[in-house]
């Protein structure tokens, strides 16, 4: 299946961007605030919803979370944010707790937009509920942790109505320096591309300890350690770099080989702490990708390097964004910085070259809701998630895996717990 066939199968004959006249969305006019319900009041969810509040017309009016303490913390935080913006506090009737909170949020007539910031295992389930309720949706990546979930997501994509806008959280595409160099690369500034080098070196995630927590609760609160809940580091974290490569090459990988393992981490999680993957794209273009996630000594670097017949390009999170060669070019503000200056942000709120990534992504999304044209990014999110799963499967199975083999495999991860136990707490 080539890329065009993949998107046609995912969305049918309809375009991924659907047009709707301004002022006809959810019966509010183009100057009204978009009422946002946050599903998942953790670190990343809180950061993104705060950015929506401060940088767009979206207003956080509802919160939902499995854990009561996170819901309370979210309420206190967003009441302060709303007060600073001259907005009303969150009504207590719009606080939803427990395993059915996502369904209650989706059913609320007080919410126009649902932001899904739950652990990745739940993304597709929550996406389906929000889309079927007619809401606009901002869903964090990845769109699924296994092949079975991606199939469900593609079915959901076909149910998105012309009145709905659905975005996936690949905000790095909207960072101004990254957007600018992508246009140059897509425009042929490097000539024929021979190979790409990608990397994501991050520190270990910090353990979240709650006194008296059951093993299941500890597992949920530390979902980054858990393969089923997160998809492993290649699918959950490194996905941003793979997404940028897919976007700039306008293709997904055809096959992959990989190595890696769990050589440093000793906690009870089962995610790997390092990957080395060779992705092969159309035209025999290879992406050599390397990833680590361990240590507390401050190492953080992430980005891409493209090598072509007429030039080479660097697109890092921190450091010079530039092209050398026949069509030399540089993002001026990045030229006096270095990768070593980059700082890891557990909430995804990176500075340096990504300083305006969240802001610009959110503004573009809210514009799609209020004035159109509408977005439906589910299939694109699935394509990138599957690309990462391709490398993950190659690593786990210690062999070359093709795109067709991945899709035919139909891997499925199981949660292995009953969330109902948290509803009464």
Q: What is the pLDDT of residues 168-179, one digit of tens each?
A: 999 999 999 999
Check whether residue 76 and residue 212 sit in a common domain.
no
Both 16 and 159 in one domain: the answer is: yes
Statement: residue 20 has pLDDT above 60: no
* Same-domain pairing of 184 and 154: no
Q: Is pLDDT above 50 for 239?
A: yes
Q: Report yes or no on 424 lying in a domain.
A: no
Instruction: Kindly state the average pLDDT of the residues 163-167.
Output: 98
Same domain, 285 and 391: yes
Rounded alpha-carbon distances, angstroms, from residue 381 to 32, 106, 314? 29, 21, 24
Indicate if the pLDDT at residue 199 is higher than 80.
yes
Residue range of the domain that includes 123: 3-172+366-379
Give the C-alpha distances (Å, rounded to integers) separating 179 from 113, 175, 176, 360. Answer: 26, 6, 5, 11
Task: Please report the pLDDT score of residue 285 as a whole number.
Answer: 98
Q: Do the domain assignments include residue 416?
A: no
What would the pLDDT profile of 357-377 be if each residue is shown by its tens digit?
999 999 999 999 999 999 999
404 pLDDT higher than 90: yes
User: Are 280 and 158 part of one and the same domain?
Assistant: no
Q: Which of 30-34, 75-79, 191-195 has the lowest mean pLDDT?
A: 30-34
Predicted local distance difference test score (pLDDT) of residue 114: 98
Domain contains 408: no
pLDDT of 26 reads 38
DSSP bridge pairs for 302: 200
3-state secondary structure (DSSP) of residue 64: strand
Note whether residue 302 is domain-resident: yes
pLDDT of 19 higher than 80: no
> How does residue 2 score in pLDDT terms, banded at 50, 70 and 90?
low
For residue 188, which of 315, 353, 306, 285 has the smallest C-alpha distance? 306
For 114, half-sphere exposure in the C-beta direction (CA atoms, 13 angstrom radius) is 32
Q: Kindly state whether residues 59 and 113 are assigned to the same domain.
A: yes
pLDDT of residue 29: 44
In the prediction, which pLDDT does 227 show?
Answer: 97
Higher pLDDT pick, 246 / 409: 246
Q: What percent of the chain has pLDDT over 70?
A: 91
- Are residues 185 and 284 both part of a single domain? yes
pLDDT reported for residue 346 = 77
| pLDDT-based confidence at residue 17 (cuts at 50, 70, 90) | very low
**Residue 292 within any structural domain of the chain:** yes
pLDDT computed for residue 298 by the predictor: 85
pLDDT tier, 424 (very low <50, low <70, confident <90, very high otherwise): low
CATH of the domain at 334: 3.30.360.10
Asked whether residue 253 falls in the same domain as residue 265, the answer is yes
- Statement: residue 354 has pLDDT above 80: yes
What is the domain count for the chain? 2
The Cα–Cα gap between 130 and 241 comes to: 27
Q: 254 lies in a domain?
A: yes
Shared domain check, 219 and 130 = no
Mean pLDDT estimate for the chain: 92
| Residue scoring higher pLDDT (326 or 411) | 326
Query: What whole-number distance in Å separates Cα of residue 131 and Cα of residue 141?
Result: 16
Q: Could you tell me the CATH number of the domain that includes residue 103?
A: 3.40.50.720
Question: What would the mean pLDDT of 186-190 be, rounded to a whole number?
Answer: 98
Report the chain's C-alpha Rg in angstroms.
Answer: 21
3-class DSSP state for residue 265? coil
What is the CA angle 274-378-106, rounded to 5?
Answer: 105
**Are 199 and 334 in the same domain?**
yes
Phi, psi of 201 (to 5 degrees): -110, 115
What pLDDT, on a 0 to 100 scale, did the predictor assign at position 4? 64
Quick one: pLDDT at residue 338?
79
Range of weakest confidence among 17-21, 218-222, 278-282:
17-21
Model pLDDT, residue 185: 98
| Average pLDDT rounded to a whole number, residues 247-273 | 97
Using a pLDDT cut of 90, give the percent of the chain over it: 85
Task: Specify whether 202 is located in the same domain as 229.
Answer: yes
Handedness of CA 249, 254, 255, 261 (dihedral sign): positive
| Position 256 in a domain | yes
The answer as to whether 420 is a domain residue is no
Regarding whether 371 and 284 lie in a shared domain, the answer is no
pLDDT, tens only, 59-74: 999 999 999 999 999 9
Instruction: State yes or no: pLDDT of 89 exceeds 70.
Output: yes
Q: Which two tokens stand for residue 298?
A: 């401050």
């Amino acid at each position: 299946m080539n890329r065009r066939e993949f998107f046609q199968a995912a969305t049918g004959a309809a375009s991924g961007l659907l047009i709707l006249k301004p002022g006809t969305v959810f019966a509010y006019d183009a100057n009204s605030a978009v009422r946002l319900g946050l599903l998942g009041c953790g670190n990343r969810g809180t950061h993104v919803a705060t950015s929506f509040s401060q940088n767009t017309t979206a207003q956080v009016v509802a919160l939902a979370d499995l854990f009561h303490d996170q819901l309370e913390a979210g309420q206190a935080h967003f009441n302060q944010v709303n007060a600073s913006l001259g907005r009303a506090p969150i009504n207590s009737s719009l606080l939803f707790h427990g395993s059915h909170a996502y369904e209650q949020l989706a059913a609320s007539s007080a919410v126009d937009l649902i932001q899904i910031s739950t652990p990745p295992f739940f993304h597709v389930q929550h996406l389906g509920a929000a889309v079927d309720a007619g809401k606009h949706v901002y869903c964090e990546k990845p769109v699924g942790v296994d092949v079975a979930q991606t199939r469900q997501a593609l079915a959901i994509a076909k149910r998105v109505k012309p009145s709905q806008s659905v975005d996936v959280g690949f905000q790095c595409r909207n960072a101004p320096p990254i957007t600018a160099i992508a246009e140059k690369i897509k425009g042929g500034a490097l000539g024929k591309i021979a190979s790409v080098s990608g990397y994501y070196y991050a520190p270990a995630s910090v353990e979240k300890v709650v006194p008296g927590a059951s093993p299941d609760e500890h597992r949920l609160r530390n979902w980054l350690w858990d393969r089923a809940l997160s998809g492993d580091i290649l699918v959950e974290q490194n996905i941003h770099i793979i997404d940028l490569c897919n976007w700039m090459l306008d293709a997904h990988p055809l096959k992959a080989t990989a190595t890696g393992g769990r050589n440093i981490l000793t906690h009870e999680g089962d995610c790997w702490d390092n990957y080395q993957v060779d992705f092969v794209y159309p035209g025999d273009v290879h992406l050599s990708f390397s990833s680590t996630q361990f240590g507390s000594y401050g190492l953080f670097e992430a980005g891409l390097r493209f090598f072509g017949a007429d030039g080479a390009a660097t697109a890092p999170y921190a450091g010079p964004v530039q092209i050398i060669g026949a069509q030399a070019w540089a993002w001026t503000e990045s030229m006096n910085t270095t990768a070593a200056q980059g700082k890891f942000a557990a909430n995804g709120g990176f500075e340096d070259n990504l300083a305006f990534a969240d802001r610009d992504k959110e503004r573009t999304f809210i514009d799609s809701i209020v004035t159109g044209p509408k977005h439906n990014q589910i299939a694109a999110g699935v394509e990138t998630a599957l690309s990462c799963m391709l490398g993950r499967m190659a690593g786990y199975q210690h062999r070359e895996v093709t795109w067709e083999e991945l899709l035919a495999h139909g891997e499925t991860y199981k949660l292995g717990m009953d969330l109902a136990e948290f509803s009464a707490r």
